[in-house]
Structure 1
Amino acid sequence: MNRQVTGVADEKSVTSFRSDGGTGETRHRPWLKAAVLLAFLLATVGAGAFWWRSHSAPPIHYVTMPVTRGEVARAVTATGTVNPELTVIVGSYVSGVIQQLFCDYNTQVKAGQICAKIDPRPYQMTVNQAQAALDVAKAQLEKDKANLVYAKLTLDRTTALARRDFSTQDAADSAKNAYDQAQAQIGLDQATIEQREAELEAAQVNLGYTDITSPVEGTVVSRNVTQGQTVAASFQTPTLFLIATDLTKMQVDTNVSESDVGAVAEGNKATFTVDAFPSRVFEGTVTQLRQSPQSVQNVITFDAVVSVDNRDLSLKPGMTASARVVTERRSDVLRVPNQALRYLPGGIVPEGGTAATQAPTAGSGQALLWVLRDGRPAAVTVKVGLDDDSNTEIVEGDLHPGDLVIVGED
């Protein structure tokens, strides 16, 4: 009973709701329209914002570097080889077998010290032969002197007899001829003796050359022979040793290209590095610019000699050096990075001209810099001076140390 009543009541309620449904729809429909309209507006605003962001220019971030004071140095780079200032080649004047060696690499030698000895026996025999020939010539002289005395006595005797008519004139003339020949023989003997003395002296000199001696005081940097080796000096003097006179004074023989040689002069300061000490910079001075050109694969270079102090013996002969010769230097000048002179922002037209006309003009000394002031780029016309690979000197212009010059954009 209760269930039926309830069921009827529910049905009525539903029927009542349905009968009033028109009034319910009318009451909720304006809110639905407002929601749709709001969603449409939000989508439109979002699309517009997306379009504006995608088509608007992004903000420019400038890369800057400060204006500084310091040194600007123009330099010429070259490669070269480290060598002793004076290297003496010790060779052999005579041929023979190396009998003994007294010097080796790094041996400290004095002038006149024997470094090697060639077998002297063949040359000693030549000396002995020359000495014997000299002795024969001297003995011949003594013999001919005695003959001259006898010829003089014969001449005097024959002449006296001829005056008294005890001898013929022909006999007197014959005695005179014998005497003259005896005198001439004495002169010939003396000349022969001088010749034999010269031959003996030459043989003794060659014997002396079997002792290979150092002509200077220094250090042996190269030895090209071994004991028992045969050296032949018939056509060319063989090199036995290389001796450096003083390893505390070295030089770098740099190869300067012909396009840079005009800027290099004696007295220029130079720096260089070697592979053995990559973090150490050696300092030297150009002491000689040799006029003799060197051609390697049709490339002409000139030898600029850089002298350097090597008291600690760090530099070794033959090291490869990368040198930098300073040809011009300015100290304590206002300078800017070279990138700043090449920068020109697109679309910015300086006051009184165009971007193209305000660009630096080669050879005029005038250039345009962009300085960041109050967050905006400002064009500054300057007069430039000396430049190197990194910085350029500013001679005139509205710039001060600490100003930020623009070198690029992010």
Structure 2
Amino acid sequence: MALTAEEAAVAQNAYSPKSRRWLVPVIIGLAAAAFAGVEIYRFVNKGAGVRYLTQQVTRGPVVKAVTTSGTVNPVITVQVGTYVSGVIQARYCDYNTRVRKGQVCAKIDPRPYQVVVDQDKATLGVGRAQMVKDQADLTYAKIAYDRNRRLAATKSVSLDVLDASKSALDRATAQIGLDEATIALQEAQLRAAEINLGYTDIVSPVDGTVVSRSVEMGQTVAASFQTPTLFLVATDLTTMQVDTNVSESDIGAIRRGHRATFTVESFPNRTFSGEVTEVRQSPQTIQNVVTYDVVVGTSNGDLVLKPGMTATTRVIVDERRDVLRIPDQAFRYQPGAIPGLASAPPQLDGSGGVRLWVLRDGAPKMEVIIPGLDDDSFTEVLKGDLRAGDQIIVGEEAAP
């Protein structure tokens, strides 16, 4: 059927280039809307082909801690060494021996030092005898000088004789001073020899328990350059400490008084408790990592902890009790069905909230929460529409 002139003009205008320019965006918009509708339908009905992995929202503690390793040591360990050299003549203490302050643990052969003491005593005796002789000479010099002074007054002797007697008196007086100084020196030498003789007895300076010994009978010890350590005495094994190395990234959170727990390999099922007693300022570099020594004090009343044990220590730096908490896996889950959500950051802009997905009535629902303390396993929920018992989505898998 032929078109009229008016109908042909309308049809020509509809398919002109100018009219096609506004048709293109309309068609693209309709296609995008149709695609989004299909995807939303898929997401809502996703349960038909996907099984969600969930964990419960619970109430409980959230404990943030710093985990490190260390060594169990006595609080005070005293090194018992020797000041003099010689041969070990006797040994009276062994490992685990309970000792008292002043108790003899070993003895060095005293004979060489006894000989020195005897020699110094004899020398001191000679000096004192010499002083007695010189005192007699002084007495005679005084008498001679007094006699010559009286005779010189009557001109019975010459002045030269008087001067000679005066000189003899002065020399005798000076000799007494020299004898006194010599005797003082000899007495000091004798005291030094007696002290060295006393050092042949190796005694414990404190009450405690011998935890180590490095000496045997007949062994020669030399104290010429460095005092050798013969025994290690722990003052009290009922109180121990764990010396731990904490990296510089974690040391800022640790304070004196923080609670701590630790385990040792000998008792893997037992957890020991303690408290941070000291955070030392001296840095140590271990494999290019700067660490600091954190001391954890603990009680050892049953003496099960031994010096040198390796301890895995957990220092509690912050804690929340009986709070609403969610597992950290929930923060890593993002549904990928709706375009754009898979790449969306979990942190909402400007609000401090985090997107999470909760399974309600068999379908996922997005919730926004304000997180609090995180202990790497659970995170405290400060604010959000969550309750204990809610099933929070942590993953998904294909339904069987």
Cα distance between partner residues in 1 of 2:209 and 2:360: 65
Q: Which residue in 2 is equivalent to 1:265?
A: 255
Cα distance between partner residues in 2 of 1:365 and 1:179: 104
AA of the residue aligned to 2:290: I
Which deviations, in whole Å up to 9, do the C-alpha atoms of 1:27-74 show, x marking residues without a partner?
Answer: xxxxxxxxxxxxxxxxxxxxxxxxxxxxx9962111111111111111
Cα distance between partner residues in 1 of 2:100 and 2:390: 64
Q: CA deviation at 1:354?
A: 4.7
Q: 1:385 to 1:100 in 2, by over 3 A?
A: same
Q: 1:255 to 1:361 in 2, by over 3 A?
A: farther
Secondary structure of the corresponding residue to residue 194 of structure 1: helix
Q: CA deviation at 1:369?
A: 1.2
Secondary structure of the corresponding residue to residue 317 of structure 1: coil
The question of 1:113 aligning with 2:113 is answered: no
Question: Would you say the 8 A contact 2:335–2:341 is kept in 1?
Answer: no
Please point out which of 87, 91, 103 is paired with 1:101: 91
Q: Which residue in 2 is equivalent to 1:131?
A: 121
Structure 2 counterparts to residues 158-173 of structure 1, below 5 A: 158-173=148-163
Q: CA RMSD in A?
A: 1.7
AA of the residue aligned to 2:380: E
Q: Which residue in 1 is equivalent to 2:291?
A: 301
Question: Would you say the 8 A contact 1:367–1:384 is kept in 2?
Answer: yes
Structure 2 counterparts to residues 144-183 of structure 1, below 5 A: 144-183=134-173
Cα distance between partner residues in 2 of 1:334 and 1:358: 24
Q: Which residue in 2 is equivalent to 1:377?
A: 364
AA of the residue aligned to 2:300: N
Structure 1 residue runs without a partner (length 5+): 1-55
Q: 1:63 to 1:389 in 2, by over 3 A?
A: same
Which deviations, in whole Å up to 9, do the C-alpha atoms of 1:167-198 show, x marking residues without a partner?
Answer: 11121111111111111111111111111110
Could you list the structure 1 runs, at least 4 aligned residues long, displaced by more than 3 angstroms after superposition: 353-358, 361-365
The question of 1:195 aligning with 2:195 is answered: no
Structure 2 counterparts to residues 1-400 of structure 1, below 5 A: 59-348=49-338, 354=341, 356-357=343-344, 359-360=346-347, 365-400=352-387
Cα distance between partner residues in 2 of 1:362 and 1:178: 110
Q: 1:199 to 1:147 in 2, by over 3 A?
A: same
Q: TM-score, normalised by structure 2?
A: 0.85
Q: If you compute each CA radius of gyration, which structure gives the higher value, 1 or 2? A: 1
Which deviations, in whole Å up to 9, do the C-alpha atoms of 1:265-290 show, x marking residues without a partner?
Answer: 11111111110001111111110111
Q: CA deviation at 1:359?
A: 2.0
AA of the residue aligned to 2:154: R
Cα distance between partner residues in 2 of 1:166 and 1:276: 105
Which deviations, in whole Å up to 9, do the C-alpha atoms of 1:1-28 show, x marking residues without a partner?
Answer: xxxxxxxxxxxxxxxxxxxxxxxxxxxx
Structure 2 residue runs without a partner (length 5+): 1-45
Which deviations, in whole Å up to 9, do the C-alpha atoms of 1:246-269 show, x marking residues without a partner?
Answer: 000000000101111111111111
Secondary structure of the corresponding residue to residue 61 of structure 1: strand
Question: Would you say the 8 A contact 1:118–1:210 is kept in 2?
Answer: yes
The aligned length equals: 352
